[in-house]
């Protein structure tokens, strides 16, 4: 459980951190809360020669919760859970954050680390797909914005370039009907299946719907088809069943210690139906 040796850096600006990444290339990794990277380093599945700790960069903290919501990369899951403005503007974030790991892990685990790492088991990537968020990336060429829905390419492979740092996530204030529903074997486990759902309604009918799933493929899954099926419906039994069917066409679970494929597909269906029902009850 002893990681390989590394040199430690604690820059105080994004520019300085990017400079370190340029200087050390693929020998360097950034660390935010460390609760994804450090376990990988202990197993020596990751062995960066240079560790660039982002904790000293004040610009990466802070939450803005107006009509547009912006969350700095170093905001922890505990901070997200406790933020009154966020609870009002986008309560789906707190509902998801509550279901990530445990208090000690949430005290260090960050938004940026959770979304940038590219682990399909993480909860916030699917949530960001559901919210149609954009990620802000800063590198040697400057700042650019990337849509979350185009960010995840393969496990641990994202649209982020090696010398870029993900500095913030942003999204518009979401629809009122929301739910993040997660099935896990125990506290601290990744999801067997989880669903993020946002629904807007007028006159008893769905006018907007967004569905994304966690840990049911090698990347987080945005199911445009499931959302489309719900549009115009009253979220009744038939509509929910059709949305679950549509979602099944977008996921691609594999057998592992959380169960065989059939079981995961079954759980995914149950979880999505629950999430839609809860989101609908809140519109």
Partner 1 sequence: MSNRMHLTLKVNGEAVETLAEPRELLIHVLRERLGITGPHIGCETSHCGACTVDMDGKSVKACTIFAAQAQGAEITTIEGIGTPDSLHVLQEMFREHHGLQCGFCTPGMITRAWRLLQETPSPTEEEVRFGMAGNLCRCTGYQNIVKAVLAAANELNTVKEAAE
Nearer to partner 1, 3 or 259 (CB): 3
Member of 6, 151, 171, 180 binding partner 1 (CB under 8 A): 6
Q: Would you count residue 2 as binding partner 1 (CB under 8 A)?
A: yes
Please report, for residues 55, 79, 103, the alpha-carbon distance to residue 41 in angstroms, rounded to integers and kept in the order given. Answer: 18, 26, 22
User: In whole angstroms, how close is the CB of 108 to partner 1 at the nearest point?
Assistant: 6
How far from the centroid of its chain's Cα atoms is residue 211's Cα? 13
- Strand partners of residue 226: none
User: In whole angstroms, how close is the CB of 3 to partner 1 at the nearest point?
Assistant: 5
Rule CB under 8 A: which of 30-89 touch partner 1?
31, 34-35, 38-39, 41-42, 51, 53, 55, 78
* Structure-token pair, residue 67: 């009509």
Rule CB under 8 A: which of 92-121 touch partner 1?
98, 101-105, 107-108
Q: Would you count residue 27 as binding partner 1 (CB under 8 A)?
A: no
Q: Would you count residue 91 as binding partner 1 (CB under 8 A)?
A: no
How far from the centroid of its chain's Cα atoms is residue 178's Cα? 16
The pairing of strands 50-53 and 28-31 is parallel
Binding mask 182-211 for partner 1 (x = CB under 8 A): -----xx-----------------------
Give yes or no for a contact between 146 and 241, defined as CB atoms under 8 angstroms apart: no
DSSP state of 58: G
The pairing of strands 191-202 and 177-184 is antiparallel
Secondary structure (3-state) at 61: coil
DSSP state of 1: -
User: In whole angstroms, how close is the CB of 31 to partner 1 at the nearest point?
Assistant: 7
The interface region with partner 1, picked from 28-36, 127-135, 219-227, 251-259 by CB under 8 A, is 28-36
DSSP string, 172-225: EPPPSEEEEEEEESSTTPPEEEEEEEEEEEETTEEEEEEEEEESSSSS-EE-HH
Nearer to partner 1, 4 or 58 (CB): 4
Angle at 215 between CA 209 and CA 220, to 5 degrees: 55
Nearer to partner 1, 65 or 81 (CB): 81
User: In whole angstroms, how close is the CB of 232 to partner 1 at the nearest point?
Assistant: 38
Nearer to partner 1, 109 or 227 (CB): 109
Q: Would you count residue 16 as binding partner 1 (CB under 8 A)?
A: no
Of the candidates 78, 75, 26, 16, the one whose C-alpha atom is nearest the C-alpha of residue 47 is: 26
Rule CB under 8 A: which of 222-241 touch partner 1?
none
User: In whole angstroms, how close is the CB of 260 to partner 1 at the nearest point?
Assistant: 24
Residues that bind partner 1 (CB under 8 A): 1-8, 10, 31, 34-35, 38-39, 41-42, 51, 53, 55, 78, 98, 101-105, 107-108, 187-188
């Amino acid at each position: 459980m002893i990681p390989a040796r590394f040199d430690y850096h604690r820059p105080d600006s994004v520019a300085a951190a990017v400079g370190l990444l340029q200087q050390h290339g693929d020998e360097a990794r950034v660390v935010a809360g460390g609760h994804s990277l450090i376990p990988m380093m202990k197993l020596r599945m990751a062995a960066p020669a240079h560790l660039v700790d982002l904790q000293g960069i004040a610009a990466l903290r802070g939450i803005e919760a107006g009509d547009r919501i912006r969350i700095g990369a170093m905001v922890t899951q505990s901070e997200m859970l406790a933020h009154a403005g966020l609870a009002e503007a986008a309560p789906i974030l707190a509902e998801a954050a509550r279901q990530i790991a445990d208090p000690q892990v949430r005290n260090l685990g960050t938004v940026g680390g959770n979304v940038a790492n590219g682990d399909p088991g993480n909860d916030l990537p699917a949530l960001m797909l559901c919210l149609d968020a954009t990620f802000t990336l800063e590198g040697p060429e400057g700042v650019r914005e990337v849509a979350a829905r185009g960010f995840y390419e393969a496990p641990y492979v994202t649209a982020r370039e090696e010398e870029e740092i993900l500095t913030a996530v942003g999204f518009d204030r979401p629809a009122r009907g929301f739910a993040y529903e997660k099935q896990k074997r125990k506290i601290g486990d990744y999801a067997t299946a989880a669903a993020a759902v946002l629904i807007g309604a007028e006159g008893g009918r769905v006018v907007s719907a967004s569905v994304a799933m966690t840990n049911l493929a090698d990347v987080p899954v945005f199911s445009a088809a499931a959302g489309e099926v719900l549009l115009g419906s009253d979220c009744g039994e038939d509509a929910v069943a059709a949305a679950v069917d549509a979602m099944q066409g977008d996921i691609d679970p594999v057998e592992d210690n959380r169960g065989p494929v059939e079981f995961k597909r079954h759980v995914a269906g149950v979880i999505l139906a629950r999430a839609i029902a809860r989101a609908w009850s809140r519109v």
